[in-house]
Amino acid sequence: MSENINFIDESFIEGLITETQNPPAPKIDEILNKALQLQGLDLLDAAYLLNIKSGDLLNKLLHTAYQVKQEIYGNRLVLFAPLYISNFCSNNCLYCGFRVDNKDIVRRVLSLDEIKDETLSLLEQGHKRILMLMGEHHKNCPFDYFLEAINAAYSVKDKKCSSIRRINVEIAPLDENEFQKLSKVHIGTYTVFQETYHRETYSKMHPGGIKSDYNWRLSTMDRALSNGMHDVGIGALFGLYDYRFEVLSLIQHAKHLDKKFNVGPHTISIPRIKPAKNAPASFNLEHAVSDEEFKKLIAVIRCSVPYTGMILSTREPAELRSELFNYGISQISAGSRTSPGGYKQAFSETEEAGQFSLNDCRTSGEVIRDVIQHGFVPSFCTACYRLGRVGEDFMDKAKPGLIKLFCQPNALTTLKEYLVDYADPETKQLGEELIQKELATIPNDKVREKTGQNLIRIQQGERDLYL
Ligand code: SAM
Ligand code: SF4
């Protein structure tokens, strides 16, 4: 058993949810004005917002979240794609298609060559950052294999001589030693979702395997930040327990990390459970989150932890995803497959081997065009991590809203690379128009001029120019 860390005080959080029922309009106005100061909110404020029911107040909240996101990150949406390298798992999470008791999927561990093939498929779609994932199975996919997989993916170049510039990681909680080793292979963000912060629900949902230890999982980011990781991502799987409890716990987790390490979560993910084969807890959810509640919770997180990157995956349908760009989302996946080998479609059983079903099945190209048509700039930027703007240094720029001075120009130059190298003619035209429009809005004369020069240099064949 791991150490009992207790920064999630369940009865305190449940108490906040009860005492903030039916929040009066003036109280909500006061909290939303506070949110616009970009200093975040305390748990009591967030609880009031989570208990909003009426349409008018909800609309005000959604609009405030939009303003906060624009102030911190500007108009860009960062794009990435997941890369699953193994679906072996010795855990038995009741909501997941990879669980050990699902005997109906074909299990695979990709070889290093297969990982390179998958990476090439992603590069050819224009991706520059991937999220590498696998189930937890120490015999069939040991940690050292994972480290080799990262190096294999970084080593691939496509016909345009492009390679993956940032690999984020989402694998089971590591121990101190493993974090030290991971810090040597240059990853971006290390992510683990707590799934549910509610202990009793956690025990029910994780009946077997290492993952059944709640404390081991809750203390993951403390170990990560104490052992060489700079940027960490947290998340909850919505639908397991009361969404208000999970949101307040996520905010509490962020505050805990910020206080202890001066580094809050680089990202917060908000996956909703989707049906998965032979996963009983992925159907008939007792705590299903409606679309309206989902919009609200995204907005509450954005107002409460303004500096964090908020990630939305292809679990959600296309139309809803586009709407959610307006309420605080700052990073999205595109063209995703959740089975090992899914991009090359090399294995006939891949559809069956997915971790859960997807709702946005469009290609990366279609998603990118749609993002542009909604007036947001798809960004493939990886500059911060490559310039060492990570951890506390990143937070120092993100918290006061200074990071967008880098995000905006880098979004434009990476979009330009995409348009020149990978886009279809229609996307090219739409993208060029957007770039010209956005370029004119860069507030600093020198940065605008430099960005304009970089765009010309990219058109002439140079690549990987960033601020
Ligand atoms: N196996 C590692 C772990 O559990 O930490 C790595 C992450 S797992 C491959 C990715 C995440 O998928 C899980 O943390 C869980 O939140 C999510 N997930 C599992 N089943 C899901 C489902 N049916 N619908 C939506 N998300 C699901
Ligand atoms: Fe395994 Fe992760 Fe799925 Fe749980 S969520 S069964 S640990 S892959």
* Structural tokens at position 48: 């009031």
Residue whose CA lies nearest to ligand 1 atom number 14: 193
Rounded distance between C-alpha atoms, residue 383 and residue 93, angstroms: 36
The Å distance, Cα 96 to ligand 1 centre, comes to 6
Same-domain check for residues 323 and 421: no
- pLDDT of 348 above 50: no
Annotate 221-270 with DSSP letters as a single string. Answer: HHHHHHTT--EEEEEB-BTSS-HHHHHHHHHHHHHHHHHHHS---SEEE-
Cβ contact 316:359 at 8 Å: yes
Confidence of residue 401 (pLDDT cuts 50, 70, 90): confident
Q: Is the CB of 91 under 6 A from ligand 2?
A: yes
Q: pLDDT (tens digit, 9 = 90+) per residue, 427-440?
A: 999 999 999 999 99
Same-domain check for residues 172 and 149: yes
Whether the full predicted model's pTM is greater than 0.85, yes or no, is yes
For residues 344-355, b (16+ Cβ closer than 10 Å) or e, as one string? eeebeebeebbb
Same-domain check for residues 335 and 429: no
Mean pLDDT value across residues 63-76: 94
Last-in-domain residue among 374, 396, 418: 396
- pLDDT of 354 above 80: no
Same-domain check for residues 304 and 448: no
Residue 64's H or E segment, with its range, is: helix 55-73
Same-domain check for residues 73 and 171: yes
The Å distance, Cα 91 to ligand 2 centre, comes to 6
Q: Is the CB of 51 under 6 A from ligand 2?
A: no
Atom number, ligand 2, closest to the C-alpha of residue 209: 7
Same-domain check for residues 153 and 237: yes
What is the domain count for the chain?
2
Same-domain check for residues 414 and 335: no
Rounded distance between C-alpha atoms, residue 108 and residue 85, angstroms: 8
Q: Name the residue of 100, 170, 191 to mutate for ligand 1: max ligand atoms within 8 A of Cβ.
A: 170
Supply the CATH number for residue 206's domain.
Answer: 3.20.20.70
Does residue 42 fall inside a structural domain? Answer: no
- pLDDT of 416 above 80: yes
* Amino acid identity at 467: L
Q: pLDDT (tens digit, 9 = 90+) per residue, 143-184?
A: 999 999 999 999 999 999 999 999 999 999 999 999 999 999
- pLDDT of 357 above 90: no
Q: Is the CB of 169 under 6 A from ligand 1?
A: no
Does residue 228 fall inside a structural domain? Answer: yes
Does residue 37 fall inside a structural domain? Answer: no
Find the ligand nearest to 87 CA.
2
Same-domain check for residues 192 and 330: yes
Q: pLDDT (tens digit, 9 = 90+) per residue, 447-462?
A: 999 999 999 999 999 9
Same-domain check for residues 82 and 197: yes
Same-domain check for residues 380 and 406: no
Same-domain check for residues 334 and 419: no
Range of the domain at 364: 69-388+390-396
Cβ contact 102:157 at 8 Å: no
Burial class from Cβ neighbours inside 10 Å (0-12, 13-18, 19+) for residue 440 reads exposed
Last-in-domain residue among 341, 365, 396: 396
Indicate the DSSP class of residue 382.
-
Does residue 84 fall inside a structural domain? Answer: yes
The Å distance, Cα 161 to ligand 1 centre, comes to 33
CA distances from 21 to 31, 48, 65, 195, 241 (A): 15, 7, 21, 25, 18
Same-domain check for residues 228 and 358: yes
Q: Is the CB of 174 under 6 A from ligand 1?
A: no
Rounded distance between C-alpha atoms, residue 360 and residue 319, angstroms: 9
- pLDDT of 349 above 60: no
- pLDDT of 350 above 80: no
Residue 293's H or E segment, with its range, is: helix 291-304
Q: How many CB atoms lie within 10 A of CB 233?
A: 25
Listed range (20-24, 46-50, 80-84, 402-406) with the worst mean pLDDT: 402-406
Sign of the four-CA dihedral 411, 413, 419, 422:
negative
Rounded distance between C-alpha atoms, residue 182 and residue 12, angstroms: 36
Q: Which residues fall within 8 angstroms of residue 64, CB to CB, at 6 or more apart?
A: 32, 35, 36, 299, 303
Does residue 191 fall inside a structural domain? Answer: yes
Last-in-domain residue among 380, 396, 412: 396
Mean pLDDT rounded to a whole number for the chain: 94
Does residue 123 fall inside a structural domain? Answer: yes
Find the ligand nearest to 339 CA.
1
Alpha carbon of residue 258 to chain centroid: 18
Rounded distance between C-alpha atoms, residue 465 and residue 20, angstroms: 49
Does residue 39 fall inside a structural domain? Answer: no
* Closest to 50 (Cα-Cα) out of 240, 235, 247: 247
Does residue 188 fall inside a structural domain? Answer: yes
Q: What is the pLDDT of residue 384?
A: 84
